């Protein structure tokens, strides 16, 4: 466990991708099976421990510390696992003969530990580990490593052990299981490529680059096709046949996470669609009575671990198909977009499936026309679904489907954000990377009150600024505190001494939950207006004009 | 007599009426007793200064010859009479010359700790606990999450990283008075026998330590043309320099930072640190608690840091605890922790 903990510790601080790869490859080369395989599983999201919940950690540490000191420490550190790892009392007499457990000991024993026996077993391990080991163990079992290593990067490091490309590993990945003995044997040249019999494998999706408006000068509109960028969740729906000829359906997220369990209705629709064997790239949406619902509605559905019958009925899932990657065993990815699109259109027309439809193309003959469509999707064919559109996608007609994010073939052109100048009212210390810094900012705009103008809080933002700006904001908060309420500080926000923040946001909705009656979508700090007096910040009327009725 | 009759809080900081002096005043005063040479405690412009000879030397070095109207030496353990008060300076183990100040007045014994630590430090005499009625302590790391590990293990981490990344320069951010020299001494104890490279900003203080008889082996100042060639070498510099243009000329630098704040991951990440080294010149939680007990005090004042947690702990043990919330101390440590936030 100590070697794994040291790796996680070092990875968590290393920003450079290449140096991360070096640390990972060095670890995989130097560590034995099955430890390294479990480490790989941990970093690719392949390990879950049903009974290990944050509440368990909280209970264990509460038994061992003064509640006031725990509360102060947690507020300061901002991360439960880290707080518990630091506060854990060192064993009175460390038994030198008791070697700390290995990663495989922990993983294997955790799987066979009952819920009732878990606290004692965990406490025993924590007594044997040092601070870094305790932190790593708690992060591992609660599934929140947050070390800046994607599954893709971990697989790339494995590929780099041999002379393989990351996609070689990706292609066999979904047929393999932890601790990946056959994978390591393959990359080390000791055994042939593992045979994967996964009938419905994941394929790395193709992603788009954000379009800068200056890019238009270099792009020709006749080379591109445009579609709406739907505000849902990008998915891959795969239908295949197993060895017995029975249908197998799976739904993957864009990172290859299997979402099948939380989407039984979508899986059933895929099984009944009459597609044959296919891999469809599309957007997962909630559609009620033919109308695409806003992203928030989809989120309500996906946030639930268990899906009730009621949720299934109220939040029916739907896939809007973008692309066809495989049809009846034929890999379509080497075909041009327009050819794949024709195959997709034919498939949908032939099958007339429930809960699947085609992402419509947006006709345009110049960038000006496309800009107009992006500005007003409802008048460019999107009709009532316009609220669920976050921009347009451009796809080069002659492009093949390339896994990853190649620059050039696909572009996303998001809608412009809205901006408002608001006054900082409250600040709260952040969590994670931002803990100990005041980094969650509540801001308000002016409105007429009983005693003249007052500020109405309209939202909270916790990103958009650089680390340097965060330092300045943190300092400003500490120097301009009026009141403290636990972790929250009220700061000066008078017309003469308040700080103005330019807030960018994606949309505005009416909300009964908020005092101002407004809820901002995706607010972030676009600029700190050190120059602007608070009295000149915006008024609530400016926001109310933006409300869609 | 209660401690409050001997020491009071003025806008300039702690003041002793019986002896008519301030301790580590935040603004210029007539007579100042200085615990140690860090700039948040030792400021320029006082009428008369009383401090250990090492602290006076450091003040002269950093603030210039005319740092005060007059200066007087106080050797460790030698009592002096100031007005109605007797004062003496005792080792605090924080940096070279650092002292706690014992005040005896009106039948009461008070100890003002200044900054201190209990962990071993080869570059300065160890902290000596003094029995007293009232203990006025710092609490920079006054939360039970701060438990500093053995500093030697942290230095070994640094040496191991030089082995793993032999082509990358290892820049160690360390405060130039005290921490830098302690890291040098620890590196030598751990067997690092290559030259230790230093930033120009630490040259003067390091030479002062060497003149006091401390041997750090081969110490070399980094010249501009050396920088690209220092892969696998250890370079000690002020924390802010690790984020400067200065740092970019080194081959793919590993940014390390030697500070007690490195115990908290978010602190390290915020500072752009890749190799946090938990090496502190302040007492950690266990040391703070043990020290309060060692003094046998019945009253505890807490000058700065995480006062509330230590006050809570002391109150539960039946002590009278008083957080002073003094603003102005600890800024140097803050600057160490987040160098990039300095405007």
At B110, which CATH number? Answer: 3.60.15.10
- pLDDT band, very low/low/confident/very high, at B1 (cuts 50, 70, 90): low
Indicate if B224 and B268 belong to the same structural domain. Answer: yes
Domain match, B117 and B227 both: no
Pairs of CB atoms within 8 A across A/B: 91
Q: Is residue B51 located within the same domain as residue B101?
A: yes
**Closest residue, chain A, to B272 (C-alpha):** A13
Answer yes or no: do B86 and B181 share one domain: no
Kindly indicate the confidence band of residue B162, based on its pLDDT and cuts at 50, 70 and 90.
Answer: very high
Rg over alpha carbons for chain A, rounded to the nearest Å, is 26
The predicted pLDDT at position A174 comes to 75
Whether residue B343 is contained in a domain is answered as: no
Q: State residue A210's pLDDT score.
A: 84
Residues from chain B that touch A83, judged by Cβ atoms under 8 A, are 145
pLDDT value of position A97: 55
pLDDT at position B182 is 98
| pLDDT (mean) for B236-264 | 90
Q: With an 8 Å Cβ cutoff, is B309 touching chain A?
A: yes
SS3 A61: helix
- Give the Cα separation of B147 and B278 in Å (integer): 9
DSSP assignment of A231-268: SSEEEEEEEEE-TTS-EEEEEEETT--B-GGG-HHHHH
Q: What is the pLDDT of residues A76-109, one digit of tens each?
A: 998 899 999 999 998 766 555 578 899 999 999 9
The reply to whether B98 and B215 lie within a common domain is no
Total of domains in chain B: 2
> Which residue in the set A15, A77, A432 is minimally distant from B145, CB to CB?
A77
B19 and B121 within one domain:
yes
By Cβ distance, the residue of B144, B270, B274 closest to A433 is B270
| CA-based radius of gyration for chain B | 20
CATH number reported for the structural domain that contains residue B166 in this entry: 3.40.50
All residue ranges of chain A with pLDDT < 50 are: 549
- Model confidence over B76-104: pLDDT tens digits? 999 999 999 999 999 999 999 999 999 99
Residue B268 has its nearest CB partner, among A13, A22, A68, at A13
What range defines the domain where residue B200 resides? 151-277
CA distance A440 to chain B (A): 15
Token pair belonging to B11: 């806008």
Q: What is the least distance, in Å, from the CA of A191 to any CA of chain B? A: 29
Cβ distance B264 to A26 less than 8 Å, yes or no, reads no
What pLDDT digit, counting tens, does each position of B283-338 carry?
999 999 999 999 999 999 999 888 899 999 999 999 999 988 777 776 554 443 33
Domain parsing of chain A, residue ranges = 2-142, 209-414, 418-544
| Phi, psi for B302 (deg, rounded to 5) | -125, 115
Residues of chain B numbered 213-272 and touching chain A (CB < 8 Å) = 252, 263-270, 272
pLDDT surpasses 90 at B342 = no
Domain co-membership, B157 together with B136: no
Nearest by CB to A12, which of B145, B164, B265? B265
pLDDT at B242: 86
- Does residue B149 sit at the A interface (CB-CB below 8 Å)? yes
**pLDDT for residue B343:** 26
pLDDT digit string, tens, across residues A406-462? 888 999 998 877 889 999 999 987 765 565 688 899 999 999 988 889 999 999 998
> pTM for this structure?
0.71
**Chosen domain end from B277, B304, B325:** B277
CB-CB: which of B263, B312, B338 is closest to A68? B312
What is A2-142's CATH superfamily? DNA ligase, ATP-dependent, N-terminal domain (1.10.3260.10)
Mutate to test the interface with A, among B139, B144, B312 (most CBs of A within 10 A): B144
Q: In this complex, do A436 and B313 lie within 8 Å of one another by their Cβ atoms?
A: no
Q: In this complex, do B164 and A468 lie within 8 Å of one another by their Cβ atoms?
A: no
Point out the domain boundary residue: B277, B307, B322.
Answer: B277
Q: Which CATH number fits domain A209-414: 3.40.50.720, 3.40.50.300, 3.30.470.30, 3.40.50.150?
A: 3.30.470.30
User: In sequence order, what are the residues at sequence separation of 6 or more whose Cβ sits closer than 8 angstroms to the Cβ of residue A452?
Assistant: none
Nearest-Cα residue of chain A relative to residue B146: A86
What pLDDT is attached to residue B340? 30
Residue B238 and residue B137 in one domain = no
Gap from A18 CA to chain B (nearest CA, Å): 11
Q: What percent of chain B has pLDDT over 90?
A: 85
What HEC string does A396-427 produce? ECCCCCCCECCCCCEEEEECCCEEEEEEEEEE
**pLDDT (0 to 100) of residue B336:** 37
- Please report the pLDDT score of residue B167 as a whole number: 94
CATH fold for domain A418-544: OB fold (Dihydrolipoamide Acetyltransferase, E2P) (2.40.50)
Dihedral (C-alpha) A500, A502, A508, A511: value to the nearest 10 degrees?
-30
| Contact partners, residue A75, CB within 8 Å, separation at least 6 | A429, A486, A487
How does pLDDT run across A128-150, given as a tens digit for each residue?
998 999 999 999 988 777 777 88
pLDDT for A84 equals 96
Answer yes or no: do B7 and B123 share one domain.
yes
Is residue B217 domain-resident?
yes
- Cβ atoms of B310 and B301 within 8 Å: the answer is no
Instruction: State whether B199 and B128 are in the same domain.
Output: no
- pLDDT, residue B341, reads 27
Q: Which of B235, B260, B277 is the last residue of a domain?
A: B277
Of A68, A86, A434, the CB nearest to B147: A86
Nearest to B26 by CA among B9, B8, B47, B41: B41
């Amino acid at each position: 466990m100590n070697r794994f903990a040291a790796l996680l510790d070092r990875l968590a601080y290393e920003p450079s991708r290449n140096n991360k790869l070096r640390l990972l490859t060095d670890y995989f080369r130097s560590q034995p099976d099955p430890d390294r395989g479990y480490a790989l599983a941990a970093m690719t999201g392949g390990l879950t421990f049903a009974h290990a919940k944050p509440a368990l950690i909280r209970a264990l540490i509460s038994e061992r510390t003064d509640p006031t000191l725990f509360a102060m420490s947690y507020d300061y550190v901002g991360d439960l696992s880290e707080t518990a790892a630091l506060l854990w009392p060192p064993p009175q007499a460390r038994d030198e003969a008791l070697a700390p457990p290995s990663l495989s000991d922990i993983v294997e024993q955790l799987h066979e530990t009952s819920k009732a026996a878990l606290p004692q077993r965990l406490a025993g391990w924590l007594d044997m580990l040092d601070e870094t080991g305790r932190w790593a163990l708690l992060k591992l079992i609660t599934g929140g490593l947050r070390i800046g290593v994607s599954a893709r990067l971990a697989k790339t490091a494995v590929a780099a052990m041999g002379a393989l490309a990351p996609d070689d590993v990706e292609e066999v990945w979904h047929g393999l299981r932890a601790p990946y003995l056959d994978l390591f044997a393959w990359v080390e040249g000791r055994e042939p490529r593992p045979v994967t019999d996964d009938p419905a494998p994941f394929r790395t999706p193709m992603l788009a680059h954000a379009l800068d408006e200056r890019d238009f000068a270099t792009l020709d509109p006749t080379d591109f096709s445009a579609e709406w960028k739907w505000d849902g969740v990008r998915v891959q729906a795969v239908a295949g046949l197993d060895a017995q000829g029975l249908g197998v359906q799976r739904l993957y997220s864009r990172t290859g996470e299997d979402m099948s369990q939380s989407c039984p209705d979508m899986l059933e629709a895929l099984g009944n669609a009459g597609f044959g064997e296919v891999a469809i790239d599309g957007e997962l949406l909630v559609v009620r009575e033919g109308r695409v619902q806003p992203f928030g509605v989809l989120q309500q559905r996906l946030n639930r671990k268990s899906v009730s019958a009621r949720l299934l009925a109220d939040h029916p899932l739907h896939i809007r198909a973008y692309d066809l990657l495989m049809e009846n065993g034929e890999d379509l990815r080497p075909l041009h977009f327009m050819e794949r699109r024709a195959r997709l259109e034919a498939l949908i027309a032939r099958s007339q499936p429930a809960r699947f439809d085609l992402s419509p193309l947006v006709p345009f003959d110049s960038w000006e026309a496309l800009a107009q469509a992006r500005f007003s999707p409802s008048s460019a064919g999107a009709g009532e679904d316009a609220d669920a559109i976050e921009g347009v996608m451009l796809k080069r007609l002659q492009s093949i489907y390339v896994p990853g994010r190649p620059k050039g073939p696909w572009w996303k052109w998001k809608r412009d954000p809205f901006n408002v100048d608001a006054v900082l009212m409250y600040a709260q210390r952040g969590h994670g990377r931002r803990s100990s810094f005041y980094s969650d900012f509540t801001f308000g705009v002016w409105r007429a009150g009983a005693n003249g103008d007052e500020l109405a809080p309209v939202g909270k933002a916790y990103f958009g600024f650089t680390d340097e700006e965060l330092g300045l904001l943190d300092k400003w908060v500490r120097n301009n505190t009026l009141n403290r309420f636990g972790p929250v500080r009220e700061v000066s926000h008078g017309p003469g001494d308040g700080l103005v923040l330019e807030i960018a946001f994606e949309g505005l909705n009416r909300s009964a939950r908020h005092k101002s009656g407004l809820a901002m979508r995706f607010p972030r700090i676009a600029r700190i207006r050190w120059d602007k007096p608070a009295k000149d910040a915006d008024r609530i009327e400016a926001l109310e004009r933006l409300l869609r009725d | 007599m209660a401690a409050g009759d001997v020491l009071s809080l003025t806008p300039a900081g702690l003041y002793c009426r019986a002896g008519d002096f301030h301790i580590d005043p935040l603004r210029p005063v007539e007579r100042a007793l200085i615990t140690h040479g860090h700039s948040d405690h030792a400021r320029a412009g006082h009428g008369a200064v009383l401090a250990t000879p090492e602290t006076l030397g450091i003040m002269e070095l950093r603030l210039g010859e005319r740092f005060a109207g007059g200066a007087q030496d106080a050797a460790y353990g030698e009592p002096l009479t100031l007005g109605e008060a007797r004062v003496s300076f005792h080792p605090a183990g924080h940096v070279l010359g650092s002292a706690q100040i014992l005040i005896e007045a009106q039948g009461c014994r008070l100890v003002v700790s200044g900054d201190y630590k209990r962990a071993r430090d080869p570059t300065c005499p160890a902290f000596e606990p003094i029995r007293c009625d009232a203990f006025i302590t710092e609490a920079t790391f006054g939360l039970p999450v701060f438990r500093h590990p053995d500093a030697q293990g942290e230095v070994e981490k640094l040496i191991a990283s030089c082995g793993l990344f032999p082509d990358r320069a290892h820049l160690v951010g360390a405060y130039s008075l005290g921490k830098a020299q302690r890291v040098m001494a620890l590196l030598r104890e751990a067997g690092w026998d290559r030259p230790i490279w230093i930033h120009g900003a630490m040259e003067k203080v390091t030479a002062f330590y060497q003149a006091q008889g401390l041997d750090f082996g081969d110490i070399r100042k980094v010249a501009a043309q050396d920088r690209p060639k220092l892969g696998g070498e250890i370079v000690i510099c002020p924390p802010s320099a690790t984020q400067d243009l200065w740092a970019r000329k080194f081959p793919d630098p590993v940014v390390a930072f030697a500070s007690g704040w490195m115990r908290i991951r978010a602190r390290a990440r915020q500072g752009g640190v890749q190799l946090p080294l938990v090496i502190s010149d302040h007492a950690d939680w266990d040391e703070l608690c043990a020290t309060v007990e060692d003094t046998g005090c019945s009253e505890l004042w807490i000058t700065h840091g995480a006062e509330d947690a230590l006050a809570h702990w002391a109150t539960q043990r039946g002590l009278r605890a008083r957080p002073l919330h003094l603003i102005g101390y600890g800024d140097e440590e803050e600057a160490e922790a987040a160098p990039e936030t300095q405007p």
